Amino acid sequence: MKHTLSVLVENQPGVLTRVCGLFARRGYNIESLAVGETHDPSISCITIVAGGEDLVIEQVVKQLDKLIDVIEIRDISETEYVDRELMLLKVRAEASRRGEIMQIVDIFRARIVDIGQDTLIIECTGDDGKTQAIEKSLKPFGIVELVRTGKIAMVRGLKYGDGRE
C-alpha cells in the first residue's frame, strides 16, 4: 500500500540525507519526495510517498521519529488530507491539433504556459487522479517531456502542525 508521510524537520543541511538514508537501508524506494520551508523558516516539511507493507512503513516511521532533526512525523494516509502535485508536460502539437489539446487543457483546468514551433508546455496542478488523467488524455498527441514536483499534502482542519510557533 502507498503511504503518505508528512515530516517536519529542522531546516538544516544534511537532514534530507538522514531521512532518505533510512529508506535506502530498508530497500524501499521513495516514489515521491517534496521538500520546502514552512511558514517557520527554521522548519522544513518533507512529504514522502512510499510503498511498502504497513508494518515496515510503521517501523520506518518510528526510526525516522528517532532522528534528532525530525521534529514531528505522521503517516497521514488514513486521515483526511488535501494533496497536490504540479506537473509540466511538453506535448507534440502541430497547429492543426492545438484546438483539441486546448479543449483538454480547459476541461482539466490546466494551463498552457509555453508555445513552441511544434510543442506546447502545459502546467497542471492537482491530486494523483487528476494528473494521471490529463497525462492519459494527452498521451495520444505524443508527450515529449514530463516533470513533476512530487506530492505535497496537508491534513484537513486544525490537526497536525497547526498553531506551531
List residues binding another protein (CB under 8 A): 9-10, 14, 17-18, 21, 25, 55, 58-59, 62-63, 65-72
Nearest to another protein of 10, 83 (CB atom): 10
Nearest to another protein of 43, 104 (CB atom): 43
Question: How near is the Cβ of 97 to another protein at its closest, in Å?
Answer: 49
The DSSP secondary structure of the chain, one letter per residue, reads -EEEEEEEEE--TTHHHHHHHHHHHTTPPEEEEEEEE-SSTTEEEEEEEEE--HHHHHHHHHHHHHSTTEEEEEE-TTS-EEEEEEEEEEEE--GGGHHHHHHHHHHTT-EEEEE-SSEEEEEEEE-HHHHHHHHHHHGGG-EEEEEE---EEEESSS-TTTT--
Question: How near is the Cβ of 29 to another protein at its closest, in Å?
Answer: 18
Question: How near is the Cβ of 78 to another protein at its closest, in Å?
Answer: 18
Nearest to another protein of 18, 98 (CB atom): 18
Nearest to another protein of 129, 163 (CB atom): 163
Question: How near is the Cβ of 20 to another protein at its closest, in Å?
Answer: 10
